[in-house]
Structure formats: C-alpha cells, structure tokens
C-alpha cells in the first residue's frame, strides 16, 4: 500500500514532469527547425504564454481549496509557482539574449519606450522574491511577513495579464480570457476573506 506521503511525492514528481513537457516540446521544435519563419518570436511568445498559464494555475489552487474544503491543493502551489518562474525566466532570457543580443542599452531603451515591456519587467521583478522565498524554511523564517509578501503574486498576475493585453494589437480575446479568469479567482478569495471577517465579528 502506498503511503499518503509517498502519494504526494509521486504526484509532485508527475506535476514537475508534466509542467516541463512544453519546455521539451519547444526545445525539440527549435532544434528541428519547426518554429516557423520567425522562430525567436514564436519561442519567446510560447514561453510567455506558459509563464502566465502556470501563474494562473498556481493561483487557482487556493479557490479550489476553498470550494472543496480540502487542504491538498495547496501542496502543489509551490511547484506551479516555480514552473511559472522558470518559463518567465526563459521568456526574458530569449528576449535579452536572442532578440536584443545582450544589449542592455537596447533593453533600457525598450523599457523606457514601451509601457508593456515595463509591465513585463515589473512582473518579473515581483516574481523573483517570491521564487527565492518559496521554500518551507523561508516560510517559517518570515512567518506573517511571508503571507504578505506572497500575496504579491496577485499583483504579478495582474501586471502579467496587462503586459499581454497591452502588447496585443488585434485579437484581444486571449488576454481578456486570462484577465477574466484572474478576476474570478480573486473574487472567490475576497468572498472567503469577507465571510471569515463576518464570522469573526459574530464571535466577538
């Protein structure tokens, strides 16, 4: 019989494996020249897409916990967050290394010229401390401050959606869909927060 602890470990390993599938597929497509005429742009876009998807998937776990009243979804939050950070880092790396050929003056120029790139940068700057402090040890060390810091993930998700919405020129349905999903996830959280507050008031 497989123990609950081993089951969680197995599911975590499976999640990491599945989460890295888009990366391997993109790498394969790149090495076999299947990314189309504008390979760097396609690679860059796909990595940005996956970063945003994993960010939103990670955020979906708390509402799932609230609705199902089960604690298990939260065990997988860190992995999804780190997968989002992994894809976001590659997205930035492809942009700086392949698009701008490591030219930091070009990067500063792009950031100052385009508000959507500034939003992308802001998103990434927000994700860095979240990734660094995502360990159990850091959670213990920072105690309540950890919760405050990690609520910044909602700001990061919002700036990531706006980054996407701003850069799209024609069909804005996809970024609007992501923004709508984020709105729903936030609404479930705020609703639970308000309910807890009213229960707290009734008790006092």
Nearer to ligand HEM, 59 or 160 (CB): 160
- Cα distances (Å, whole numbers) of residue 72 to 4, 64, 65, 75: 11, 10, 7, 6
- Return the residue of 124, 130, 162, 185 that touches ligand HEM, per CB under 6 A: 124
Nearer to ligand HEM, 49 or 176 (CB): 49
Stretches 3-11, 17-25, 91-99, 181-189: which one binds ligand HEM (CB under 6 A)?
91-99
- Return the residue of 55, 83, 90, 185 that touches ligand HEM, per CB under 6 A: 55
Beta-sheet strands, E only, within 18-172: none
- Return the residue of 43, 61, 94, 117 that touches ligand HEM, per CB under 6 A: 117
Q: Under the criterion CB under 6 A, does residue 121 sit at the interface with ligand HEM?
A: yes
How far apart are the C-alpha atoms of 156 and 170, rounded to whole Å?
24
**CB under 8 Å to 176, separation ≥6 — which residues?**
165
Q: Under the criterion CB under 6 A, does residue 120 sit at the interface with ligand HEM?
A: yes
Closest CA to 159 of 193, 196, 117, 199: 117
Q: Under the criterion CB under 6 A, does residue 48 sit at the interface with ligand HEM?
A: yes
Shortest distance, CB of residue 120 to ligand HEM, whole angstroms? Answer: 3
Nearer to ligand HEM, 42 or 192 (CB): 42
What is the number of alpha carbons within 13 Å of residue 44 lying toward its C-beta? 15
* Strand (E) or helix (H) holding 159: helix 152-167
Q: Under the criterion CB under 6 A, does residue 185 sit at the interface with ligand HEM?
A: no
How far apart are the C-alpha atoms of 20 and 96, rounded to whole Å?
22
Q: Which residues bind ligand HEM (CB under 6 A)?
A: 45, 48-49, 51-52, 55, 88, 91-92, 95, 117, 120-121, 123-124, 127, 160, 163-164, 167
């Amino acid at each position: 019989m497989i123990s609950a602890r081993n089951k969680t470990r197995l599911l975590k390993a499976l999640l990491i494996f599945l989460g890295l599938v888009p990366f391997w597929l993109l790498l394969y497509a790149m090495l076999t020249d299947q990314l189309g005429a504008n390979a760097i742009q396609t690679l860059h876009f796909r990595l940005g897409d996956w970063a945003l998807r994993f960010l939103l998937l990670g955020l979906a776990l708390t509402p799932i916990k609230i609705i199902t009243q089960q604690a298990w979804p939260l065990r997988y939050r860190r992995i999804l967050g780190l997968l989002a950070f992994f894809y976001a880092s590659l997205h930035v790396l492809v942009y700086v290394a392949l698009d701008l050929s490591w030219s930091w003056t070009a990067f500063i120029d792009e950031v100052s010229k385009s508000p959507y790139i500034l939003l992308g940068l802001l998103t990434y700057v927000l994700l860095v401390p979240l990734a660094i402090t995502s360990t159990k040890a850091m959670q213990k060390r920072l105690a309540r401050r950890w919760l405050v810091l990690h609520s910044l993930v909602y700001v990061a998700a919002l700036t990531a959606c706006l980054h996407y919405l701003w850069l799209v020129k024609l069909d804005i349905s996809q970024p609007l869909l992501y923004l709508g999903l984020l709105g729903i996830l936030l609404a479930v959280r705020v609703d639970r927060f308000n309910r807890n507050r009213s229960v707290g008031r009734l008790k006092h």
